[in-house]
Structure 1
């Protein structure tokens, strides 16, 4: 991490070598199967304690009749002689060695994932946003710092320099990050759950999964499709993320996980849509995710699911037989745009509406049937007033700039929708 932060003062001719060395180390750290190591280290600790106890018992039995007298006790004959035992465990190093080594590995893997995200993010981001990404559990702030204030998006990705791009792909970083997105080894989790001193490792393993999902989002946004394995790999990845999400019936309760996986899905679906790669989420899965997400207390989650609705809807708008799904998507987006307390989320929902209903016969029919024109025309002055009243106090200049742009696009879109409605109802 220190070497990466100092890269700007390293001679340019040496930068490729340094970047390659850094990513080689990160790759080796991520290569290790943390679940198996948790199991092995706990077994080693158990065996060590068992051996120590057996040795202690043997020594105690062998010295059972020997009394060690204290010199001071000899000077006071009336007192009873005191037997002083020396246990073999007193001579052993602390018994938490295996626990500490396991925690060190998990911390290293978390740090590796955070560094990769750092490499993929805009170097113009403020130092405060990326400062001191500790790998302790206190670095939960990473998730908050990784998302722009109230915006729900990762810090702006940059066009990767050739050296970073080459090192990421040559050391198979995308593959290794993908592997870390899986749920922690269930046997390892069970072992930790049954041992109080090891129980904190469960949270650490879950944190690594969330970091991997955030890291995956960055890689999917930045790397070419070919370097991600092509269209089949992206479809398999979409299926994998869907399985991760829907294997937990109560996924909406796990906010950190939901924010991370919705960010990864958002980036993946955007990439697939831009390359005309067919998507694997069923309409039912999409609706389940989005209905849960739009009611989340987390702004980032709400922004992500609204964007996912927009991406999916814009793809469906070009296909036949999608009228009912488009109507459902339109109604959900209208609800968010008009009722969400955050202007950032409302603006994202309006942007999504613009994308979904910008073109296509099915989209035009759907917009008329859900009365999109009249709903937006009624909402327009409310949106303007909210920006005027709440904007300056709650939102950053960048966010206000985006909202002003949405406001202008809303005016144009209402004019367009009016023309669509007149044409289809005349």
Structure 2
């Protein structure tokens, strides 16, 4: 009888959620989770309402968005809610000072506004990448050098890093197993893992699954570009809501250039979409090094960086950048970013330069006019939304 009652309750809950069309909030039939999970209530108060979960699983995604790397780990509201807590919890670092959100800040589209992010034993070796729209890409590898095969694998690698979060098991660090013991002693995690997975056991796979679901839920499709794209049959036609300059910039972004034998552009556009593919503006998985081979420290050659975040939300609502660009953070303006691709110099030792940047075997010379640069900048600004910066579903659940 008890099993039947539980099954009926689950069916009713699923039926209720599937009929709810609200895009931000999932109202789960009151089952007094607040009574069942008192430590969650005591820790988070009204910041985490298990009776009324945010909608992570069934957010509206435009029909023209077709790329998705979440195969095998579909988003579930309960598990993503746990992921939100893990993402913001400084207990995941060895000295309780650093969380995932310390380097991936909501106010910067889940990137960072400093070149190197602070860790428990130093700073990050590369500039922290923006996480917004991580789900909507063909590329399944993560980190600038693609060393993580999946987002799930990526989520716990910073935790295991000596410099970043300090549970490396090396250099005198505690191990990841020590972290599992630490989290298991937190009463709110006992309840949250029970809530999300049906039992209190905390494992690395469960942590990876939850963090990946929360990160993939962070999406932004409320930009000026999206308004125009929804009214257009494809990206190639002028958007009715764009200015003449923005449409010019879009055309330059999408159109491949033509070159002469010396690598100078003779016509066409800039060809940005060859690597940053509309409408997701994700990086082509076949992309190689983009010509920036330095390190944050400014010394040495590193040609392994071949991934990039989506170009969406490069700038904030006030027009300023969401932090520095490139893995070194060396680019600090959209004009400088476009200028970098305008004149490609094949640096000695760069054995991994993307061939699309070397027409006829030489570095491309786009010979950009200021009018063209301004137009592309105007277009790139249309890719930024507003909701991602303030939506509570992606905010810190811990009381201040």
Task: Give the TM-score normalised by the residue count of structure 2.
Answer: 0.26
Larger radius of gyration: 1
The answer to which structure has the higher helix fraction is 1
